[in-house]
Amino acid sequence: MKTLKILVVSDSVGETGEQVVKAAATQFRPDFEDTIIRKFPHIQNDEHIENIVELASMQDALIVFTLVERSKRDLMIELCKEHQVASFDLLGPMIGLIEKHTGEKPLQEPGLVHKLDDDYFRKIEAIEFAVKYDDGRDPRGLLLADVVLIGVSRTSKTPLSQYLAHKRLKVANVPLVPEVEPPEELYLVNPKKCFGLVISPEKLNIIRKERLIALGLNDDAMYAKQTRIEQEINHFYKVVNKIGCSVIDVTNRAVEETANVILDQIEQ
């Protein structure tokens, strides 16, 4: 089998090119056997491009490049033709398409997609918030949250909190159990911000049994018994009816689908 060598060249970190190259390469070498992918990030000047093309020529390698500056893209194409190196411009055609469609000129500034702007810091803040106020650890977070999730154990409250946090929303979640009264702060939350997560008893029974087995415990514990689950769900409905919040059935929904339901309601 011929060794596949690909050089990924970028004026930024090169993640985009690397991921596309890997996605394509796995169609031929699923285990990356006899495959070498080298990344050359932060290309600053013409000399760097010249050296990389010469290296590709000597090693019989392909070049995939994501260069936002037109002059650097043109130079790369010209040098690859001169040295008979197969290359692919991953970014240029898309930039050209958008330029033609909008009539606007591209900024040609490398690394803008990774720029540490306000949006980035909002996401980090939201993720930290979700961790801090996960699983009802601190009820004070309920009044600071953009979204409050409530539900019995194993209704995907934590993964949903993290997913929404990546959408820049501050999320707190509270587990509901019949023996413990919900925190007073929960009843002070705007019902439009609060979402109850419910699941069918049968599905929850299966999930909890699998969880117990994964922990090396007996799957006939009270935690997974049908009567206990029904008791918890009845308690759940008493709480959500008192709050007056929306209820989402997550029985056959992926986290992303549940998140989209919440996002749609918030936008409305």
Q: Does the annotation list 171 as a binding residue?
A: no
Q: Which residues contact 143 (CB under 8 A, 6 or more apart)?
A: 185, 188, 189
pLDDT of residue 175: 97
| DSSP conformation class of 13 | -
Residue 88 and residue 64 in contact, taking contact as beta carbons nearer than 8 Å? yes
Q: Does the annotation list 57 as a binding residue?
A: no
pLDDT of residue 148: 98
Give the dihedral sign, CA 177/182/183/185: positive
> Other CB atoms closer than 10 Å to residue 93's CB: what's the count?
11
What's the whole-number mean pLDDT along residues 212-232? 92
Q: Does the annotation list 151 as a binding residue?
A: yes
Q: Does the annotation list 158 as a binding residue?
A: yes
| Closest to 131 measured CA to CA, from 154, 152, 162 | 162
pLDDT of residue 74: 96
Residue ranges of domains in the chain, CATH in brackets: 4-114 (3.40.50), 118-267 (3.40.50)
pLDDT digits (tens, 9 = 90+) for 112-142: 776 666 778 899 999 999 999 999 999 999 9
pLDDT bin (cut points 50, 70, 90) of residue 21 is: very high
pLDDT digits (tens, 9 = 90+) for 187-211: 999 999 999 999 999 999 999 999 9
Give the dihedral sign, CA 164/165/170/175: positive
| DSSP conformation class of 91 | S
Q: Does the annotation list 154 as a binding residue?
A: yes
Q: Is the pLDDT of residue 71 over 70?
A: yes
Give the dihedral sign, CA 48/54/57/58: negative
- State phi, psi for 240 to the nearest 5 degrees: -70, -30
Could you give the 3-state DSSP secondary structure of residue 79?
helix
- H helices of the chain, in order, are 15-25, 46-59, 70-82, 92-102, 118-132, 157-165, 201-214, 226-243, 255-267
- State phi, psi for 97 to the nearest 5 degrees: -65, -45
pLDDT of residue 168: 94
Compute the mean pLDDT over every residue in the chain, rounded to the nearest whole number: 94
pLDDT of residue 114: 67
pLDDT of residue 28: 95
Q: Does the annotation list 156 as a binding residue?
A: yes
pTM of the model: 0.62
